[in-house]
Structure 1
Amino acid sequence: MKNLIIILVSFLFTTGYSYAQAVDANNNALNALATYGPDGANIGASSIVRNPPRPIDGTVYLFDSWNNKTLILTNSQEKPFELNSNINFNTKLNAFESKIDSETIFTFDFTNIDKIIINNRVFKNIYSPVDGGYRIFEVIAASKDFEIYKNYSIDIKEGSPNPQLARANDKYIIKDSYYLKKGKSFKKLKLKKSDILKATGSKSSLVEDYAKENKLNFKNERDVQKIVGYYMSL
């Protein structure tokens, strides 16, 4: 087995100066990615990729491609760090990752990150009392009164040795669920009319009329974003 070289990549923060050097995105290799500052805050670490003992179809990654335009906003630096390629979200590990090479992955640590915006989609590390710890959620909609988050997880559909079923291998299935954070309340949410209107409180009748007039579906994520956008304008 050939020797593996683990490239240690660290992030350090400062105001007014940052540095990033990424190699050709076509081969998904990340040579270096860093900012410099006095606090020495580290927001990631590298690890070796190990293949599962048996092949599994599908993918654990949320985005089809690793070529995703990304902004990383840290807790100590006003100017966001920009990464134009080589990043994806691992739904199994609930973590953002970059490929250093074919055998090494850099995993981002959200301790010193405020949020990651990837392809205009916002992700934040939120404490979930439902899950008993911090998780990275996609922010679907946010107002001054409540926020709606989307959680991603992975499930494995078992394969079968029966050749008539044509699925000998196991398969990754990406699942999602929604959460509503309102005040101190944090609970699972179903995208349905009654739950969304309940979150809008005294303005629910106006929101309901707006959704009806514009033929918006409370079960549709994009429509819910429009509905919450209207709520914020009231």
Structure 2
Amino acid sequence: MKNCILVCFLITSSIIFAQGMHDSQRSGFTNAMQYEGLYLTPGQLDELNGGTSVYLFSNWEGKFEIYISDKKGYSISNLNYNLKTNTLESKISKDSVFQFDINKVKFIRQGSKKYKLYKIHTENELFQEIYFSNKVTLLKGFDAVLKKGSINPLTLEYIHKDKYSIDENYYLKLNNTNFIEIDLNKKSFLQLMGDKASSVEKYASDFKLSFKSETDLLKIFQYYDTL
């Protein structure tokens, strides 16, 4: 029954695509993914999440592409990632949410942004790939952090309720070393670049590139890869 519901939902809301493949080679979404998942109601989600948002994307609606290989994937118009449970979810209706088995997903695209699973901590988590090459991987991670509210000492009522906020952290891997958490500033990057640091620093200065800018870091690491 659950598979039937999921099939109907995906048929009506998804567009199957596959780069470099003929229609006869394309398989159905559930056949290719073989998803195991969990159905939850919004009330159950609120209970799990403490009643506030712990989702990566501020808007569930949009163009999302779920890839199961480098060239094959599926387009879906409703998707989000739960940072607390590390689950990929889609709203099937007002009363139901489906949690996908994210370990069967190779990567996700939302517009120009690419998200992929990495095991930097104790389990696989979804990170945004800022830059990726044979020498360099720069990732942005996301954490749902609970901010404690405040209580009126006289009435014992909440002035501000507890709520989650999304913290961002960056992780860098150079030349097949382990990932390390890094701050976006010139000193943090240059001290990891060894004998290439002076060349990179000069390049960034000549072209007025900031180590605090994700866009500029793309150009900086593209240059780094040429050294």
Q: Same fold (TM over 0.5)?
A: yes
What is aligned with 2:62? 68
What is aligned with 1:111? 103
What is aligned with 1:133? 123
SS at 2:149 equivalent: coil
Query: Aligned ranges for residues 169-184 of structure 1 at < 5 Å?
Result: 169-182=161-174, 183-184=176-177
Between the aligned partners of 2:81 and 2:95, the Cα distance in structure 1 is: 17
Q: Is the 8 A contact 1:150 1:176 kept in 2?
A: yes
Between the aligned partners of 1:122 and 1:190, the Cα distance in structure 2 is: 21
Between the aligned partners of 1:215 and 1:43, the Cα distance in structure 2 is: 47
Which runs of 5 or more structure 2 residues have no equivalent in the other structure? 15-27
1:89 aligned to which of 81, 88, 109: 81
Q: Is the 8 A contact 2:88 2:102 kept in 1?
A: no
Which runs of 5 or more structure 1 residues have no equivalent in the other structure? 11-18, 25-33
TM-score of the superposition, structure 1-length normalised? 0.73
Between the aligned partners of 2:133 and 2:3, the Cα distance in structure 1 is: 43
Rate the CA distance shift 1:117–1:220 in 2: closer, same or farther, 3 A: same
Between the aligned partners of 2:161 and 2:206, the Cα distance in structure 1 is: 48
Rate the CA distance shift 1:7–1:195 in 2: closer, same or farther, 3 A: farther
- Cα RMSD, aligned residues only: 3.2
2:47 aligned to which of 52, 56, 78: 52
Q: Which moved more, 1:149-158 or 1:102-111?
A: 102-111
Rate the CA distance shift 1:104–1:233 in 2: closer, same or farther, 3 A: farther
Query: Aligned ranges for residues 1-234 of structure 1 at < 5 Å?
Result: 9=6, 20-23=10-13, 34-35=28-29, 37=31, 41-49=33-41, 50=44, 51-52=46-47, 56-57=51-52, 59-75=53-69, 78-83=71-76, 85-128=77-120, 131-162=121-152, 167-182=159-174, 183-234=176-227
Q: Is the 8 A contact 1:124 1:139 kept in 2?
A: yes
Kindly state the Cα deviation for residue 134 of structure 1 after the two structures are TM-superposed. 1.8
Q: Is the 8 A contact 1:44 1:109 kept in 2?
A: yes
Between the aligned partners of 1:41 and 1:212, the Cα distance in structure 2 is: 47
* Paired-residue identity, %: 30
Q: Is the 8 A contact 2:146 2:163 kept in 1?
A: yes
Kindly state the Cα deviation for residue 224 of structure 1 after the two structures are TM-superposed. 1.9
Q: Partner letter of residue 180 of structure 1?
A: L
